[in-house]
Amino acid sequence: MTEPKLLIVVLAAGKGTRMKSDLPKVLHQVAGVPMLGHVLSLAASAGGEGAAAADLAVVIGPGMDDVRAEVTRRAPHARVFVQHEQRGTADAVLAAREAIAAHTGDVIVLYADTPLIEPDTIARLRAALAAGSNVVVLGFDAVDPAGYGRLLCDADGSLAAIREDKDASGAEREVRLCNSGVVAFRVSGLAGLLGRIGNANAKGEYYLTDAVEIARADGLRAAVVKCPEDEVLGVNARDQLAAAEAIFQARRRRAAMRDGATLIAPETVWFSADTVVGRDVVIEPNVFFGPGVVVEDGVRINANCHIEGAVIGRGARVGPFARLRPGATLGADVHIGNFVEVKNVSMGAGAKANHLAYLGDGSVGAKANIGAGTIFCNYDGFLKHRTEIGDGAFVGSNSALVAPVKIGAGAYIGSGSVITKNVSADALALERSSQEEREGWAAKFRTMMARRKAKG
């Protein structure tokens, strides 16, 4: 049977005052992606494989133009609504009343500051709806339930009510099954049901959680789906942001190792949300992956490397202490050694730069060798220029290649040269002043300086 169309409402209007930041809370990043981005990605996958994409409504606060822009960039099809006053979660959801009223399928409410929910959890919420429940709340067993709303269940396990911590009785506060805030609905006329929620509570707010008791009073069924507590960590302060990062990284490390990579010291390796790591990859300690990195099979990344926006080809070797910046593309079996920086350069198969070099804006041909101390002089103070090195070329140590310049295939550049003109294939290029030697000069100089020092 075909599942009903899904509408996901993402609540992103929180001010995040505890973050103490000029940046809206939901734009703070976990694994290189704003928390809002994680939730929008979850929403994009929520329709399920082969199913129609979910409709998406995002609720923001007034003046949150940067949040609106992030929504538009990541989910152009989403509709954005504004909650003009913060009067509780039910009021926030009803800011998207127009989308809810026009929708006839399932509705799931997510939070833009809860970035760790897994796609399988959303699937389980929908499965509970398909099994006959009208309202399904995502719950968790809290280590410390203080501050959380409690999920109060009947003897048969169905959900009877959600009680906010400040409104709970002493007995209800002993309950450890807590509310994550995430809720799924299969309710005809949902906007009308939510519109009946009042604010007779300790905070005078319109709680989305009250929808459970209203639904039950209408003869509808409510249920709980449980997930691990870590999965529904909400981020309201910097320490919780760090905790979310730690949870993401632990997950990602486990996934990389399950998929065939070796992490020698997993706790020291940091991934971005989009990092791709192949099989039989070995990653030594203290490696950081920024956004946009692909590591193909059989690569070894030695210790203390920083990599972002780079593609590392099969069997390549990187580091230790190497930096790959955006646009670095390493072919198969390339070697990038210690204290080498590569930016916007493609390196052909088998090329090497093993020591102390800066390669910026250009290309290096297959099996070319870049000597220690080589610099691509790519910037003239106004514009960037390219250096192109042909297949099999050899660049001697301590050379400066002043772009724009081309080194032909098989050419040799003598050590210590400053190359400002193109070099033909298979040619030798040297640029040095003549070496001068003055016999006995050093001994005379030492004697003279010793006398000066003695005189004081």
pLDDT at 16 (0 to 100):
87
pLDDT in tens, 254-291: 999 999 999 999 999 999 999 999 999 999 999 999 99
Q: Which fold has domain 6-232?
A: Spore Coat Polysaccharide Biosynthesis Protein SpsA; Chain A (3.90.550)
* pLDDT by 10s per residue, the chain, length 456: 567 899 999 999 988 899 999 999 999 999 999 999 999 999 999 865 545 678 999 999 999 999 999 999 999 999 999 999 999 999 999 999 999 999 999 999 999 999 999 999 999 999 999 999 999 999 999 999 999 999 999 999 999 999 988 889 999 999 999 999 999 999 999 999 999 999 988 888 999 999 999 999 999 999 999 999 999 999 999 999 999 999 999 999 999 999 999 999 999 999 999 999 999 999 999 999 999 999 999 999 999 999 999 999 999 999 999 999 999 999 999 999 999 999 999 999 999 999 999 999 999 999 999 999 999 999 999 999 999 999 999 999 999 999 999 999 999 999 999 999 999 999 999 998 888 899 999 999 999 999 999 987
Give me the residue label for tokens 């250096």.
Answer: 387
How far apart CA 136 and CA 94 sit, in angstroms, is: 18
Give me the residue label for tokens 């399904």.
Answer: 136
- DSSP state for residue 278 in the 8-state scheme: -
Q: Is 308 helix (H, G, I), strand (E, B) or coil?
A: coil
pLDDT in tens, 212-269: 999 999 999 999 999 999 999 999 999 999 999 999 999 999 999 999 999 999 999 9
The residues spanned by each domain of the chain are: 6-232, 260-429
pLDDT at 48 (0 to 100):
56
CA 225 to each of CA 42, 125, 137, 153: distance values in angstroms, whole numbers, following the listed order: 17, 6, 6, 12
Alpha carbon of residue 116 to chain centroid? 12
How far apart CA 300 and CA 237 sit, in angstroms, is: 37
**CB–CB of 322/337 below 8 Å?**
yes
Stated as kind and residue range, the H or E segment containing 56 is strand 55-60
How far apart CA 258 and CA 2 sit, in angstroms, is: 34
CA 271 to each of CA 16, 287, 344, 387: distance values in angstroms, whole numbers, following the listed order: 26, 9, 21, 31
Residues 6 or more apart whose CB falls under 8 angstroms from that of 105 comprise 3, 4, 5, 6, 7, 186
Average confidence score pLDDT of the chain:
95
**CB–CB of 340/355 below 8 Å?**
yes
**CB–CB of 135/221 below 8 Å?**
yes
Q: Which of 28, 77, 335, 355 is catalytic?
A: 355
> Hey, what CATH class is 260-429 in?
mainly beta
In the chain, the amino acid numbered 182 is: V
Among the listed residues 2, 58, 54, the one whose alpha carbon sits nearest the alpha carbon of residue 35: 58
Q: Is 355 a known active-site residue?
A: yes
**CB–CB of 405/390 below 8 Å?**
no
Q: What does R_g of the chain's alpha carbons equal in angstroms?
A: 31
